[in-house]
Amino acid sequence: MAPDYGRIQDDALQILDALCRCGSVSAEGRELDETAALVQELLNEAGFETKQLRADEGPAAVWGEQRGRSDYTLLLYNHYDVQPVDPLELWDSPPFEPTVRDEKLFARGSADNKAELAVRLAVLRALREANDGELPIGIRWIVEGEEEVGSPNFEQIVERNVDLLRADGCLWEGASAVLPDGRPEFGLGFKGALFVRLHIRALATDAHSALAAVAPSAAWRLVEALASLRAPDGTVAIEGFYDRVLEPTAAERAALASSSKSEAAEVLDVLGLEEFVDGLTGDALLERLCYSPTANIAGLASGYSGPGVKTVLPAEAAAGMDFRLVPHQRPREIFELLRAHLERHGFGDVEVTLLDAADPATTPLDDPFVARVVAVAEAVTGATASIVPIAAATLPIIAPLQRLVGVPGLAAPDNPVYSGSLAHAPNEHIRLADVEPAIRFTHALFQDLATAR
């Protein structure tokens, strides 16, 4: 008997509604315990044995386990926390009152990442019901509460619970169920990231700018230190920065070349650009995006930046930077290269602080788990999957899962989101039309993996 996808969708939307009524803003430490309790209750009701896992700090992660008919065990990762809602006045409906308009469901956290959690749970409930209360495969699930603040305690939670997380494969937070060109999307990895703060204090106190003739300037020092980090062609001038950077393999290039590029025009439009840097398009654009490490200035601050004039020689100046790193680059090593570069170029007075770091992590294209999951998606959709071997962004949870647990994983098209979902912005939403494709794929995958060993 074919599954009743409509009923599963109704169930998923009901779960999603309940989850989205929780204002689980991790940056504000808001309603995290309550939301964790709701997730735990939902898992319990679906037949999971559950517990809360904790690090020394931070909210609990909810863990659940349920055996299946086959020995195959799949690990699922989700997060129950959401981004802050500011600016509230730009929302067309209250962010924690899920509202359907124009075939879309609006709520903070709907796209990131509660809809995927609801889809997975509704599919599991349907599979249990259709199989006399048993799942086709074993499921382990970890739902953390700090993804939106960089998962600072996730590694410790994993370290303490490696045995609870072992599995044959893992679904990370997922990719788009349906891309604009109708293809299902896969992501096999993420860049690493290094976040630093550069700070210079040149004077004990701000001075009158007339003194600029004879007193040192923190702002000029910062400008010159930053300028030394970048070559005229836009590449990073830190000595040794590219030493570990490898060209993509032929297989990676082929995957990238055959992946969907349907979103590039939309990104240009949103950013108000005629073209990307160096006029990049197509394969070359994607290769730069995914395989080039970056050095970005996220913020600059010094002195007076209000309207009009202030005659000030600022006492201090600061910059926030992030470096996106490709496989084999290590954030702590890059941090040391940065410090050495500044020292060598006469900027020893620039104080550099490491704010956060995440290793790059990828699952190889030729991992059997990848082939199996992709095959299911292509069979369900009748379309060729779009596979991005490494994404330009960073998901810090991947490296600990791979290094400590050793489980191959990927971002699969079980997530009813699209590039317009406004994940971190006002009016975050999902399109209702994306829910059923996510359910169909998830339903097929959970059944298919029962024969995977």
For the segment 188-207, give every residue that binds a second copy (CB under 8 A). 191, 193, 195, 203-205, 207
- Give 444: exposed, middle or buried? Use CB within 10 Å, 0-12, 13-18, 19+: middle
Q: At what angle do helices 115-130 and 435-448 cross, to 10 degrees?
A: 50
Distance in Å, CB of 236 to a second copy, minimum: 11
- Is 220 one of the binding residues for a second copy (CB under 8 A)? yes
C-alpha triplet 320, 324, 328: angle, nearest 5°: 135
C-alpha closest to that of 376 among 451, 318, 286, 278: 451
Q: Which of 219, 377, 407, 412 binds a second copy (CB under 8 A)?
A: 219
Over the window 324 to 363, marking each residue x when it contacts a second copy by CB under 8 A and - when it does not, the resulting string is: x------------------------------xx-------
H/E segment holding residue 223:
helix 218-227
Per DSSP, the three-state class of 306 is coil
- Both tokens assigned to 420: 């317009």
**Residues forming beta bridges with residue 189, ordered by sequence position:** 362
Nearer to a second copy, 215 or 452 (CB): 215
Distance in Å, CB of 180 to a second copy, minimum: 18
Q: Which of 99, 209, 262, 427 binds a second copy (CB under 8 A)?
A: 209
- Is 2 one of the binding residues for a second copy (CB under 8 A)? no
Q: Which residues within the stretch 367-426 sit at the binding site for a second copy (CB under 8 A)?
A: 391-394
Sequence-ordered list of residues with C-beta below 8 angstroms from that of 409, at least 6 positions apart, any chain: 75, 77, 169, 170, 171, 172, 363, 369, 398, 401, 402
C-alpha triplet 161, 162, 167: angle, nearest 5°: 125
Over the window 148 to 187, marking each residue x when it contacts a second copy by CB under 8 A and - when it does not, the resulting string is: --x-------------------------------------
- Is 277 one of the binding residues for a second copy (CB under 8 A)? yes
Cα separation, 178 vs 31, in Å, equals 32
- Both tokens assigned to 447: 């059944």
Q: Which residues within the stretch 95-154 sit at the binding site for a second copy (CB under 8 A)?
A: 150
Q: Which of 318, 334, 399, 439 binds a second copy (CB under 8 A)?
A: 318
C-alpha closest to that of 105 among 186, 194, 20: 20
Nearer to a second copy, 133 or 307 (CB): 307
Q: Which of 104, 244, 253, 288 binds a second copy (CB under 8 A)?
A: 288
Q: By CB under 8 A, which span of 101-109, 208-216, 400-408, 442-450 interacts with a second copy?
A: 208-216
**Residues forming beta bridges with residue 51, ordered by sequence position:** 63
Nearer to a second copy, 126 or 318 (CB): 318
Number of residues interacting with a second copy: please give it, by CB under 8 A: 71
Distance in Å, CB of 320 to a second copy, minimum: 6
Whether the Cβ atoms of residue 221 and residue 199 lie closer than 8 Å to each other: no
Distance in Å, CB of 5 to a second copy, minimum: 33
**CA-based R_g, the chain, Å:** 24
Over the window 9 to 48, marking each residue x when it contacts a second copy by CB under 8 A and - when it does not, the resulting string is: ----------------------------------------
Q: Which of 254, 312, 422, 432 binds a second copy (CB under 8 A)?
A: 312
Distance in Å, CB of 449 to a second copy, minimum: 31
Distance in Å, CB of 89 to a second copy, minimum: 17
Q: At what angle do helices 5-20 and 115-130 cross, to 10 degrees?
A: 140
Chain centroid to CA 448: how far? 27
Whether the Cβ atoms of residue 189 and residue 395 lie closer than 8 Å to each other: no
